[in-house]
């Protein structure tokens, strides 16, 4: 990735996340040059902690701070940060969860007046008691939990990027007692990831302990944070849900990593990125050249989805919308959108399945829409032996496969097919594709590790996958034989409402129709346009609900002035309100 100037570099740093291996490669040259990264990390953590205490009107001299310190460098960060807070007058206790502590950091901590409570009887930490009985170990653990709970601040320094798998042993028990075990992060969605006023404030060092650092999963007990101070570069867990929901407000400490040659693991969309997907009208344009969207959506049973998808597509910069569906839905579409054209004709993209019953639905089997969709989707199927049919499939216009069409998806398809499931629908899709012999995956499992599920669906089908959520995950081809992961976190939580998905499907269809056929020629653009649709949908929802809250907030950059952040929570909306706000969203994106 070529990052030509400083502003571009910072933008890339804030909106890209890198795997732990890449982060270690990027920090290597600095460590070799003797740059004191750990001290820099610790100072930043102490400063962020003090400013949080300040926000709560808690003087540092009165603050009780608990450092949950692991045996690795993450624990070292915590101990140095604890030492700085102790030097400022705080009363700081470190709970040693492993058998050792980072030596120099431990010395600095003790020198600053910090106290240490050891939990592992086999620990070997200078000046600390060990070899105690199992009974005493239990008492110490209980005391540690109580002490942490009654603190003003907990610095979570158990594990950082060296974490492997679910937290085990004492760290796991402590996380289950102080944090969460088995549930997704569950708190009101506030603007700017505002910390709750409840004490203790939890500050995660680098990453919250217990989350899947490289995939955003929650493999076991974890400690949700009010704030995370992360070093050098964003890790996937700070962007990918549900771990990203456990990070609270994120501050990135720029170590000056050279990111020119680093390939991000996952990127977050921003408005600049999205505007590339918007085709501005041209002087010589007519309605056809601006892109026509064909919709096979809605059904006799669910006609409303036809209206929502048609109106959303028409508002999203399409030249024209064609609608195919049952008489009742046709009548309703025409009265809601007189501009719609009924019946078949040339289109630049398709949207199928929104508001169409699936096979499991009681009206599913005999719904005529399903017959039309199944026939259309056959044109997108890839066959092992038939090159001619494959060439025809590769030349098809892009298509959005939503809701009731998902169970009609052929096994292997071309990448300009975008499937748009929510977690439950993705679980059903994966179980059908994986077939018997592979353990069935539940909606809850998809929710606990949505990225893995989206990657799996892309791998199995070849389709581009857009998994809906407060942070929407898009997985598609990167053009070099690999996967591209793009996220959109623009939507406020108010958008979790009936019909919201139908609106997204229509918007995505329209954005794909206006790409002048480029998506068919270059499938690597498909995930970009899919993420752009999710972002524009989220932005329209934010405008409609007058909400500053979003699924993902851009991290603060340590040492740089914090932009004043508005804090309107906003108000409830219905899907129709989102459509009404699309023009204003475009206005913002094009400006």
Ligand X SMILES: NC(=O)C1=CN([C@@H]2O[C@H](COP(=O)(O)OP(=O)(O)OC[C@H]3O[C@@H](n4cnc5c(N)ncnc54)[C@H](OP(=O)(O)O)[C@@H]3O)[C@@H](O)[C@H]2O)[C@@H](O)CC1
Instruction: List residues near ligand X by CB under 6 A.
Output: 27, 31, 37-38, 41, 70-75, 77, 98, 159-169, 171, 205-206, 231
Query: Cβ closer to ligand X: 206 or 267?
Result: 206
Q: Is the peptide bond before 584 cis (omega within 30 degrees of 0)?
A: no
3-state secondary structure 325-394: CCHHHHHHHHHHCCCCEECCCCCCEEEECCCCCCCCCCCCCCCHHHHHHHHHHHCCECCCCCHHHHHHHH
Closest distance to ligand X from the beta carbon of 197 (Å): 27
312 is annotated as contributing to ligand binding: no
What's the first-to-final CA gap in the chain, in angstroms?
Answer: 26
Closest distance to K ion from the beta carbon of 70 (Å): 8
**425: CB partners within 8 A, 6+ apart:** 403, 406
Q: Dihedral (C-alpha) 101, 252, 277, 472: value to the nearest 10 degrees? A: 50
Residue 407 contact among ligand X, K ion, none, beta carbon within 5 to 8 Å by kind: none
Residue 209 contact among ligand X, K ion, none, beta carbon within 5 to 8 Å by kind: K ion
471 is annotated as contributing to ligand binding: yes
Task: State the Cα angle at 293 between 289 and 298, rounded to 5°.
Answer: 165
Instruction: Report how far Cα 260 is from the mean position of its chain's Cα atoms.
Output: 24
469 is annotated as contributing to ligand binding: yes
Query: Cβ closer to K ion: 223 or 400?
Result: 223
3-state secondary structure of 105: helix
Residue 98 contact among K ion, ligand X, none, beta carbon within 5 to 8 Å by kind: ligand X
Q: By CB neighbour count within 10 A (0-12 exposed, 13-18 middle, 19+ buried), where does 528 fall?
A: buried
513 is annotated as contributing to ligand binding: no
Q: By CB neighbour count within 10 A (0-12 exposed, 13-18 middle, 19+ buried), where does 32 fall?
A: exposed
The answer to whether 163 and 207 have CB atoms below 8 angstroms apart is yes
In terms of DSSP bridges, do strands 16-17 and 266-268 run parallel, antiparallel, or are they unpaired? antiparallel
Closest distance to K ion from the beta carbon of 74 (Å): 5
33 is annotated as contributing to ligand binding: no
Query: Cβ closer to K ion: 75 or 489?
Result: 75
Residue 572 contact among K ion, ligand X, none, beta carbon within 5 to 8 Å by kind: none
For residues 96 and 116, give the distance between their C-alpha atoms in angstroms, rounded to a whole number: 7
Closest distance to ligand X from the beta carbon of 163 (Å): 4
The answer to whether 74 and 99 have CB atoms below 8 angstroms apart is no
Query: Cβ closer to ligand X: 30 or 190?
Result: 30
Q: Is the peptide bond before 234 cis (omega within 30 degrees of 0)?
A: no
Q: Is residue 250 involved in binding K ion (CB under 5 A)?
A: no
Residue nearest to K ion (CB): 209
For residues 85 and 114, give the distance between their C-alpha atoms in angstroms, rounded to a whole number: 9
Positions in 198-217 near K ion (CB under 5 A): 204-205, 209
Q: What sign does the CA torsion over 504, 441, 415, 295 have?
A: negative
355 is annotated as contributing to ligand binding: yes
Q: Which stretch binds K ion (CB under 5 A): 151-159, 284-292, 373-381, 575-583?
A: 151-159
Residue 156 contact among K ion, ligand X, none, beta carbon within 5 to 8 Å by kind: K ion
The answer to whether 381 and 393 have CB atoms below 8 angstroms apart is yes
Q: Is residue 547 involved in binding K ion (CB under 5 A)?
A: no
Closest distance to K ion from the beta carbon of 225 (Å): 8
What DSSP assignment string belongs to 555-587? PEETTSPPPP----------HHHHHHHHHHHHH
Query: Cβ closer to K ion: 20 or 209?
Result: 209
Q: Is residue 16 involved in binding K ion (CB under 5 A)?
A: no
Query: Cβ closer to ligand X: 31 or 498?
Result: 31
What DSSP assignment string belongs to 36-69? -HHHHHHHHHHHHHHHHHHHTT--GGG-EEEEEE
Query: Cβ closer to ligand X: 106 or 231?
Result: 231
Closest distance to K ion from the beta carbon of 590 (Å): 41
| Owner of token pair 């310190």 | 69
Residue 193 contact among K ion, ligand X, none, beta carbon within 5 to 8 Å by kind: none
Q: Is residue 461 involved in binding K ion (CB under 5 A)?
A: no
271 is annotated as contributing to ligand binding: no
Query: Cβ closer to ligand X: 120 or 528?
Result: 120
Query: Cβ closer to ligand X: 222 or 350?
Result: 222
Query: Cβ closer to ligand X: 231 or 552?
Result: 231
For residues 345 and 322, give the distance between their C-alpha atoms in angstroms, rounded to a whole number: 8
472 is annotated as contributing to ligand binding: yes
74 is annotated as contributing to ligand binding: yes
Q: How many residues bind K ion (CB under 5 A)?
A: 4
**Cα R_g (the chain), whole angstroms:** 26
In terms of DSSP bridges, do strands 91-96 and 320-323 run parallel, antiparallel, or are they unpaired? unpaired
287 is annotated as contributing to ligand binding: no
482 is annotated as contributing to ligand binding: no
223 is annotated as contributing to ligand binding: no
Q: Which residues are annotated as a binding site for K(+)?
A: 74, 156, 209
Annotated binding site: 73-77, 156, 160-166, 206, 209, 305, 355, 422, 468-472, 501-502
Annotated binding-site positions for (6S)-NADPHX: 73-77, 160-166, 206, 305, 355, 422, 502
Using CB under 5 A, list all residues that contact K ion.
Answer: 156, 204-205, 209
């Amino acid at each position: 990735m070529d990052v030509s100037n400083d502003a571009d570099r910072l933008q890339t740093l804030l909106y890209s996340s890198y795997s732990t291996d890449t982060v270690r490669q990027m920090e290597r040259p600095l460590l070799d040059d003797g740059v004191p990264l750990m001290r820099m990390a610790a100072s930043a953590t102490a400063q962020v902690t003090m400013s949080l205490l300040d926000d709560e009107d808690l003087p540092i001299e009165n603050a009780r701070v608990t450092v949950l310190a692991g045996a690795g460098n993450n624990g070292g960060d915590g101990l140095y940060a604890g030492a700085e807070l102790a030097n400022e007058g705080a009363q700081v206790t470190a709970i040693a969860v492993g058998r050792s502590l980072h030596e120099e950091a431990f010395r600095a901590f003790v020198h600053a007046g910090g106290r240490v409570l050891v939990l592992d009887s086999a620990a070997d930490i200078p000046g600390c008691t060990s070899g105690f009985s199992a009974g005493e170990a239990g008492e110490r653990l209980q005391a540690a939990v109580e002490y942490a709970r009654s603190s003003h601040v907990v610095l979570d320094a158990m594990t950082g990027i060296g974490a492997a798998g679910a937290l085990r042993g004492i760290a796991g028990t402590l996380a289950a007692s102080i944090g969460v075990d088995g549930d997704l992060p569950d708190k009101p969605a506030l603007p700017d990831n505002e910390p709750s006023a409840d004490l203790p404030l939890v500050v995660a060092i680098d990453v919250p302990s217990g989350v899947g650092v490289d995939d955003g999963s929650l493999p076991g007990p974890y400690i949700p944070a009010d704030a995370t101070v992360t070093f050098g570069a964003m890790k996937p867990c700070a962007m990918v849900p549900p771990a990203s929901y456990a990070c609270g407000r994120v501050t990135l400490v720029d170590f000056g990593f050279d990111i020119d040659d680093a390939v991000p693991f996952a990127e977050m969309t921003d408005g600049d990125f999205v505007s590339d997907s918007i085709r501005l009208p041209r002087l010589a344009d007519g309605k056809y050249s601006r892109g026509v969207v064909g919709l096979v959506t809605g059904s006799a049973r669910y006609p409303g989805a036809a209206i929502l998808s048609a109106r959303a597509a028409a508002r999203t910069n399409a030249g024209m919308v064609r609608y195919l569906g049952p008489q009742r839905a046709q009548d309703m579409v025409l009265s809601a959108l007189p501009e719609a054209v009924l019946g078949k004709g040339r289109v630049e993209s398709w949207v199928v399945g929104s508001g169409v019953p699936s096979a499991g639905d009681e009206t599913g089997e005999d719904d005529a829409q399903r017959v039309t969709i199944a026939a259309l989707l056959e044109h997108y199927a890839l066959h092992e032996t038939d090159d001619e049919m494959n060439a025809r499939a590769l030349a098809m216009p892009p298509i959005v496969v939503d809701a009731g069409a998902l169970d009609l998806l052929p096994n292997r398809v071309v990448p300009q097919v975008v499937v748009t499931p929510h977690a439950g629908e993705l679980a059903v899709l994966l179980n059908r594709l994986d077939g018997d012999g592979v353990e069935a995956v539940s909606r809850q499992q998809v929710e606990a590790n949505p990225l893995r599920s989206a990657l799996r669906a892309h791998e199995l089908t070849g389709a581009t996958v857009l998994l809906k959520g407060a942070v929407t995950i898009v997985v598609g081809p990167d053009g070099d034989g690999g996967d591209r992961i793009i996220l959109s976190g623009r939507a406020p939580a108010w958008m979790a409402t009936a019909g919201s998905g139908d609106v997204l499907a229509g918007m995505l269809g329209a954005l794909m129709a206006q790409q002048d056929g480029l998506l068919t020629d270059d499938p690597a653009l498909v995930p970009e346009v899919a993420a752009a649709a999710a972002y524009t949908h989220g932005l329209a929802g934010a405008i409609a609900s007058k909400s500053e809250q979003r699924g993902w907030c851009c991290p603060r950059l340590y040492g740089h002035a914090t932009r004043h952040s508005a804090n309107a929570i906003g108000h409830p909306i219905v899907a129709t309100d989102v459509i009404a706000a699309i023009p204003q969203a475009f206005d913002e994106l094009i400006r």
